[in-house]
Chain A
Amino acid sequence: MKLELRGITKRFGSLVANDSISLTVQPGEVHALLGENGAGKSTLMNVLYGLYQPDEGQILLDDEAVVFAGPGDAMQAGIGMVHQHFMLIPVFTVAENVMLGHEPTHAGGVLDLAKARELVREISSRFGFEISPDALVSDLPVGAQQRVEIIKALSRDAKVLVLDEPTAVLTPQETDELMVIMKQLAASGTSIVFITHKLREVQAVADTITVIRLGKVVGEAEPTASSAELASLMVGRDVDLTVDKPPLHAGADALVVTELTHFDDHGQKLLDDVSFTVRAGEILAIAGVQGNGQTELTEAILGLRHRVYGSVKLGGRELVGSSVRDILDAGVGYVPEDRKKDGLVGEFSVAENLMLDRSFAGPFTKGLGVDFAHRDEFAREAIGEFDIRTPGGSTPAGRLSGGNQQKVVLARELSRDLQLFIASQPTRGVDVGSIEFIHERIVAVRDSGIPVLIVSTELDEITALADRIAVMYRGRIVDIVPSDTPRSTLGQLMAGVVA
């Protein structure tokens, strides 16, 4: 089926998320929609899927204008969507998830489970998915859950399949498999819209590329275009994709983690005998697919978790068992992976967020009160030094863009005397310009002789920053390898395969 979007405009208040976007997807084509986070890709697809109503513009399917009042209409018309955050019900089986909303029934609305199972089996065997219809979705690995989403769309006879950032949660191997599936689907006549910000994947699989920036189509490109060309289209200027990193001058072992093990409240082991060291002036990057214990590792080091066994020594001092405040006072700077949830208080002003960790004592307090003059002065300096784009220090931090919020967190964490710097997903949801800036600052921390621990699920970021790479899988460190290890080897380690 041919899909055409004509002049789609979608506004949220004063923000124009989509500004007169037009694109055409030919039958059986893999059409990549390339853009940074926040460029308006997901908004556009939600318009296409009937979750949002466009303010202007038309959607045409096989040259006929259609209007979707809701996702039901879009599905009816043959549009299927695999959302970035899976739309699966974890406590339901695969068959139940697939049939939800278009259930085969016996008389009286009684579910025909046999038919639903058969449907799942038929579609999964067609693409070699090997997914049991009776498996609980919550028991399936992420890659398999994604296939359930694809089965779900195909079971509704989707002619156009939209994949929204499908590789964000996959290992490199799973990503390769998904590429194969996409090509297979396209060969069978399904049109595919592939939303991503990863250049490598676009080059590997797309037939046509549309680049979106700030809600507008800024260009079309052939898959043969170079990474640099695509990146500069995406960002609007030439981008330096590499990080300038002076040679390593590592000092003595500064952070020594030994046999760190952690259980959750249900007795499940989330960290399994994790041991590593970070030397002063070195960046150790933890690679791995999301959810393999990285979050738990950083939170355990910071004292945010209970039931932590083993040892974390910073400069010879034991941190396990200490309170979070003691650990922070020991000189640990921490950028949490979810800045909105853990890094900032969105309703507080930028200035307040900048002093959030030092409300107890120190330069920001005067007697029992806050030294407002000092706070505002500090905020002014930080805004200048970290290039935080904000109307002022009194603006609520939640109103800033992702990249600027992250700079607020970074400015706060780097303003103390550090003995260790931990950053989890330092550039997630951050625009490319800010990524460069944040990476430079992290490297600067390293060069000042401080041990740095980075957690990232983006391999590009890992290889750009790391002096050594530790790969985590199911709560363990599978291996620690040099930073020039080939991607394919890292990918295998990320899937738990030991070289």
Chain B
Amino acid sequence: MTALAPVHETVAAPPRNWKTPIVLSVLAAVTFVVFGLLGNAQEVTFRWSEADDTISLASLVVASQPLCLVLGVLTLLGAGFAYYRAYRREKVPLWVSIGVGALFIIGLFANVGAGATVPVVFILTGAIGLSTAVIFGSLAGVVGERVGVANIAIEGQLLAGAFVAAVVASVTDSLFLGLIAAMIGGALVSMVLAVFSLRYVVDQIVVGVVLNVLVVGITNFFYSAVLSDNSEEFNFPGTLPSLPIPLLSSIPVIGPVFFDQRITTYVMFLLIPTVWFVLFKTKWGLRIRAVGEHPLAADTVGINVNNTRFWTVTVAGLIAGFGGAALTIGSVGAFVREMSAGQGFIALAAVILGRWNPWLAAVAALLFGFSRNFRIWAGQIGSPIPPDLIAMTPYLVTLIAVSVLVGKAVAPAAVGKPYIKE
């Protein structure tokens, strides 16, 4: 036989990946047909400024149906391009997916908001507000998984942080002490996780699930035994004040969204780049990632694997606990039973969706808050879409985003695996 024979043409080539084009074309079809062809001819008003803004922008008023038809054509073009790329066995660029997704969302707003107003600033600020805890949770998740510990207990850490923040701030009458206490609360939960999974090598998932149930139990107990009867004394912390940044906060749209927020939100804005920088630009980050990828290799260059894991997971707990504070003293100003309501799990989904990258994970978490806020707004304007259907949107968004974007996400190789020395 001849060596290095040419590949036979009859041999089947690797299968094409149609997943992304299919999802995109469904979005495009909905935009074009449901929002466009079957759409609403009424006008929709996009409001850029609120009444008390220093600089006021005029609202944009357009007819919903023609706008959606244009958006529909654009999304169809995007989906077509995705099919073309998939046919040629090429990757569909991320910007195409994001672009189609964004146009779909605009179309959704234009359709649901026909005959009403879309308050852009409210939508965006609300999205950030509703995402804050999830973003902190996802950053905690990224940090934990990067060092190789599957942190299922984010939910419990958020809840612990929320509870401790409310109680400590009420008792000491200091919101600042509430924040500190929330971090410690979150860190304590993660230390329990670390001790059991690292020292006693109990399965990390099992410990995490147990911790979540435990924190729910403890907080529920104290809530009904103590807080609900003495809410003046124990569950009345007040809320952190808004801190508008002079000048910047008067920029239209951007100002109120980014520069007129609470301290918790500012910390969140700063924490995303900080986590990224520490993970990818410092020696601690390098060591954390090394431990999460190949603990034995890290050990052979003198890095103490379990110490690194313990302290990194503790830091993750500090972050999640702080995020919990955003639920109480950074938001409604009181603790409510089980108020984390699954946000810790959504944060975990955001970690995977964001491919263990703090930026992408934060964006994924934001997407979730955004769709939650959409539901609130749609309810307010009395949208004809059934409320139960609207209530599904966050999960639908998560599902679509996961299926389109995740593809070949590569987790840190040693996540969830204990490191046991022989």
A residues sitting closer than 8 Å to B (CB atoms) are 49, 51-52, 70-73, 75-76, 81, 83, 86-92, 96, 99-103, 105, 108-111, 152, 259, 261, 263, 266-269, 272-273, 275-276, 307, 309-310, 476-480, 498-499
The complex places the Cα of A263 from the Cα of B89 at a distance, in Å, of 14
Q: Which of B89, B281, B294 contacts A89 (CB 8 A)?
A: B294
Q: B410 — which chain A residues lie within 8 A by C-beta? A: 91
Apart from A51-B422, A109-B284: 12 A-B pairs, beta carbons within 8 A: A89-B293, A90-B294, A100-B287, A105-B282, A259-B8, A261-B12, A267-B89, A273-B5, A273-B8, A309-B11, A310-B11, A480-B1
Contact call A109/B282, Cβ cutoff below 8 A: yes
Judge whether B408 is part of the interface by a CB distance below 8 angstroms.
yes
Whether A100 contacts B11 in the complex (CB less than 8 A), given A92-B293, A478-B3, A479-B1, comes out as no
A71-B290 in contact (CB<8A) = no
**A-B pairs with beta carbons under 8 Å apart, 19 shown:** A71-B302, A72-B302, A72-B303, A89-B290, A91-B410, A92-B286, A99-B286, A100-B290, A101-B301, A109-B284, A259-B8, A263-B15, A267-B89, A273-B5, A273-B11, A307-B14, A307-B15, A310-B11, A498-B3
**Contact among B4, B281, B289, B408 for A266, CB-based, below 8 A:** B408
Does chain A have a CB within 8 A of B385?
no
A-B contacts at CB below 8 angstroms, number: 114
Report the Cα distance A81→B287, complex, angstroms.
19
B297 located at the interface, meaning its Cβ lies under 8 Å from any Cβ of chain A in the complex: yes
Interfacial chain A residues near B14, Cβ < 8 Å: 263, 267-269, 307
Min CB gap A480→B, angstroms: 6
The reply to whether the CB of B88 lies closer than 8 angstroms to some CB of chain A is no
Check if A101 sits within 8 Å of B12, measured CB to CB. Answer: no
CB distance from A69 to the nearest CB of B (A): 10
Give the A-binding residues of B (Cβ under 8 A). Answer: 1, 3-5, 7-8, 10-12, 14-15, 89, 281-284, 286-287, 289-290, 293-294, 296-304, 408, 410, 413, 421-422
Whether the Cβ atoms of A87 and B302 lie closer than 8 Å is no
- Given the known interface contacts A101-B287, A267-B14, the answer about A70 and B297 at a Cβ–Cβ threshold of 8 Å is no
The interface residues of chain A lying within 8 Å CB-to-CB of B303 are 72, 100-101
Do B283 and A103 have beta carbons less than 8 Å apart? yes
Distance A140 CA – B15 CA, assembled complex (angstroms): 27
Expressed in whole angstroms, the Cα–Cα distance for A499 and B4 within the complex equals 11
Q: In whole angstroms, what is the CA distance A312 to B296 when docked?
A: 41
Known: A110-B281, A261-B11. A92 touches B302 (CB 8 A): no
| Cα-based distance from A478 to B298 in the complex (angstroms) | 38
Residues of B near A269 (CB, < 8 A) are 14
- Chain B residues near A309: list those with CB within 8 A: 11-12
* Chain A residues whose C-beta falls within 8 Å of the C-beta of B281 in the assembled complex: 110-111
Q: Which residues of B sit under 8 angstroms from A263, Cβ to Cβ? A: 14-15
Which B residue's beta carbon lies closest to that of A478?
B3
Q: Are A96 and B294 in contact (CB under 8 A)?
A: no
Q: Which of B3, B287, B408, B421 has the most CB of A within 10 A?
A: B3
Contact of A111 among B1, B286, B294, B301 (CB under 8 A): B286
Nearest B-chain residue to A75, judged by Cβ = B302
Using CB atoms, name the residue of chain B closest to A12. B422
Task: Choose from A83, A90, A259 the contact partner of B293 (Cβ within 8 Å).
Answer: A90
Indicate if the CB atoms of A267 and B299 lie closer than 8 Å: no
Nearest 8 interchain pairs by C-beta: A72-B302, A267-B14, A101-B301, A87-B297, A498-B3, A103-B283, A109-B282, A87-B300
When C-beta atoms are compared, the residue in chain B nearest to A266 turns out to be B408
Taking a contact as CB atoms under 8 Å apart, the answer to whether A101 and B298 are in contact is: yes
When distances are taken between beta carbons in the complex, the residues of chain B under 8 Å from A96 are 286
Residue of A nearest to B17 (CB): A267
Nearest-CB residue, chain B, relative to A116:
B286
Closest to A81 in B: B300
B4 x A498 contact (CB < 8 A): yes
Within 8 Å by CB of B297, from A49, A72, A89, A273, lies A89
Question: In the complex, what residues of A have CB within 8 A of residue B408's CB?
Answer: 266
Instruction: Evaluate whether A111 and B300 lie within 8 angstroms (CB atoms) in the complex, with A52-B422, A477-B1, A498-B4 already known.
Output: no
Chain A residue with minimal CB distance to B3?
Answer: A498
With a cutoff of 8 Å between Cβ atoms, the chain B residues found around residue A276 in the complex are 1
CA distance A112 to B301 in the complex (A): 18
Question: Which residue from chain A places its CB closest to the CB of B10 in the assembled complex?
Answer: A259
Q: A258: shortest Cβ distance to chain B, in Å?
A: 10
Inter-chain contact B8/A49, CB cutoff 8 Å: no
Closest chain B residue, CB of each to CB of A275: B1
A51–B287 CA distance with the chains assembled, in angstroms? 19
Q: How far is the CA of A479 from the CA of B4 in the complex (A)?
A: 8
Minimum C-beta distance from A348 to chain B (A): 24
Q: Do A105 and B11 touch (CB < 8 A)?
A: no
User: Shortest CB–CB separation between residue A297 and chain B, in angstroms?
Assistant: 15
Give every chain A residue within 8 A of B284 (Cβ-Cβ): 109
Compute how far the CA of A192 lies from the CA of B326 in the bound complex, rounded to whole angstroms: 59
Instruction: Check B294 against A272 for contact (C-beta < 8 Å).
Output: no
C-alpha spacing A477/B2, complex, angstroms: 10
Contact partner, B301, options A87, A259, A261, A478, Cβ 8 Å: A87
Cα separation A272 to B4 with both chains bound (whole Å) = 10
Residues on A with beta carbons closer than 8 Å to the beta carbon of B413: 90-91
Assembly CA distance A499 to B290 (angstroms): 43
B300 interface neighbour in A71, A267, A310, A480, Cβ under 8 Å: A71
Q: State the CA gap A387–B8 with chains docked (Å).
A: 48
B8 touching A476, Cβ below 8 Å: no
Known A261-B11, A310-B11: A87·B4 in contact at CB below 8 Å = no
Alpha-carbon distance between A24 and B126 when the two chains are bound, in angstroms = 72
Tell me which residues across on chain B come within 8 A of A70, comparing CB atoms.
299, 302, 304
Chain A positions within 8 Å of B421 at CB level: 51
A479 to B1, CA, bound (A): 7
Q: By the criterion CB–CB under 8 Å, are B12 and A83 in contact?
A: no
Contacts of A102 in B (CB 8 A): 301-302
Please measure, in the bound complex, the distance between the C-alpha atom of A476 and the C-alpha atom of B11, giving whole angstroms.
14
CA distance A86 to B301 in the complex (A): 12
Shortest CB–CB separation between residue A260 and chain B, in angstroms?
10
Closest Cβ of chain A to B276, distance in Å, is: 13
State the CA gap A108–B278 with chains docked (Å). Answer: 10
Q: Chain A's nearest CB lies how many Å from the CB of B18? A: 13
Task: Find out whether the CB atom of B3 lies under 8 angstroms from the CB atom of A87.
Answer: no
Q: Considering the chains assembled together, what is the distance between the CA atoms of A477 and B3 in angstroms?
A: 7
Contacts of A101 in B (CB 8 A): 287, 298, 301-303
Q: Are B7 and A110 in contact (CB under 8 A)?
A: no
A259: chain B residues within 8 A (beta carbon): 8, 10-11
| Chain B residues within an 8 Å CB radius of A71 | 299-302
Residues of B within 8 A of A273 (CB): 5, 7-8, 11
CB-CB nearest in chain A for B6: A273
> Complex Cα distance A78/B246, Å?
58
Tell me whether B12 and A478 are in contact (CB under 8 A): no
B15 touches A110 (CB 8 A): no
**How far does the alpha carbon of A76 sit from the alpha carbon of B301 in the complex, in Å?**
10
Q: How far is the CB of B322 from chain A (nearest CB, A)?
A: 22
Q: Which residues of A contact B10 (CB under 8 A)?
A: 259
Residues in B with CB closer than 8 Å to A81 are 300
B residues in contact with A75, CB < 8 Å: 301-302
**Residues of chain B lying within 8 A (CB to CB) of residue A479:** 1, 3
Q: With a CB–CB cut-off of 8 A, which chain B residues contact A477?
A: 1
CA distance A269 to B14 in the complex (A): 8
Residues of B close to A72: CB separation below 8 A? 301-303
Hey, which chain B residues are within 8 Å of A100, CB to CB?
286-287, 290, 297-298, 301, 303
* A91 and B1 form a contact (CB under 8 A): no
Cα–Cα, bound, A449→B36 (Å) = 74
- A272-B300 in contact given A89-B293, A267-B15, A480-B1 (Cβ < 8 Å): no
| Contact A111–B302 (Cβ < 8 Å) | no
Decide if A87 touches B1 in the complex (CB within 8 Å).
Answer: no
- Taken together as a complex, chains A and B put the C-alpha atoms of A108 and B11 apart, in Å, by 56
Question: Looking at B290, B294, B300, which has the most chain A CB atoms within 10 Å of its CB?
Answer: B300
Q: Nearest A residue to B303 by beta-carbon distance?
A: A101
With contacts A75-B302, A479-B3 taken as known, whether A111 is within 8 angstroms of B283 at the C-beta atoms is yes
Q: Most B CB atoms within 10 A — which of A86, A91, A479?
A: A91
Residue of A nearest to B284 (CB): A109
